[in-house]
Amino acid sequence: MKLVYTSFQEAVIDIQDGATLMVGGFGLCGIPENLIQALVEKGVKDLTVISNNCGIDDWGLGPLLQHKQIKKMIGSYVGENKEFERQVLAGELEIELTPQGTLAEKIRAGGAGIPAFYTPAGVGTSIVEGKEIREFKGKEYVLEEALTADFSLVRAWRGDKMGNLIYNKTARNFNPMIAAAGKITIAEVEELFEVGELDANFIHTPSIYVQRIIQGDQEKRIERRTLTK
């Protein structure tokens, strides 16, 4: 199997209509922006996307929304994306909002092969409707099922040609757990090294989870610029 790619379009070539994707990032921090753009250009549609949020209108997952390529979104909040909000209110987009910690654990559990777990988050709210509730030591917990995906798209700071990944500070966010939960994980990296050049003590995602890796420059846009007066 080819591991190192030079074309983002080629890296996503087998992502077809109706696929389930996990996409790393938090807002615009740590997003695989070139892989997302390749999907926009490919025109793939009816996607189910699992990600913390949808970025902003014109960047991150936003362009996929604008081109009506996402059928269902599983995330933790709407964020700064007005088109996301508009589609939800208009009934054009299926949405499954999940508490952020629960979302993280659903993805982590999927990558670990754990089918479900109990959590107190959301008990007593509408998000537990139709789900199993169980009491442990006098406290109620809801059963949440794990999440997996056909493809996981992640962004890392450094990677080697075997697929080992290192993330940079808060850009790590959801990326490590998403890398483990996809049947095929495609990693976009800023710097690509030969095997053995990265210090094994600092590897965040081992190569066993990564099937494709590609180097590319990122714009690193700022979601909301705040300046002092």
Residue 192 pLDDT > 80, yes or no?
A: yes
The 3-state DSSP composition of the chain as helix, strand, coil percent (nearest 5) reads 25, 30, 45
Burial 34-63 (b: 16+ CB within 10 A, else e): bbbbbbeeeebbebbbbbbbbbbbebbbbb
Residues contacting residue 94 through CB under 8 Å, at least 6 positions apart: 71, 72, 73
157 assigned to some structural domain: yes
187 assigned to some structural domain: yes
Identify the pLDDT of residue 176.
98
pLDDT band at 103; cut points 50, 70, 90: very high
143 assigned to some structural domain: no
226 assigned to some structural domain: no
142 assigned to some structural domain: no
- Condensed to tens digits (0 to 9), the pLDDT of residues 3-42 reads 999 999 999 999 999 999 999 999 899 999 999 999 999 9
133 assigned to some structural domain: no
Determine the structural domain holding residue 156 and report its residue range. 4-114+148-214
Supply the CATH number for residue 91's domain: 3.40.1080.10
pLDDT band at 206; cut points 50, 70, 90: very high
How many structural domains is the chain composed of? 1
Residue 1 pLDDT > 70, yes or no?
A: no
- Condensed to tens digits (0 to 9), the pLDDT of residues 122-139 reads 999 998 999 999 999 999
Identify the pLDDT of residue 124.
94
134 assigned to some structural domain: no
Q: Average pLDDT of the chain? A: 95
- The model's pTM is 0.94
The whole-angstrom separation of Cα 195 and Cα 86 is 46
121 assigned to some structural domain: no
Identify the pLDDT of residue 220.
83
Tell me what the mean pLDDT of segment 60-69 comes to: 95
Both structure tokens of 170: 């808060």
pLDDT band at 168; cut points 50, 70, 90: very high
Identify the pLDDT of residue 177.
98
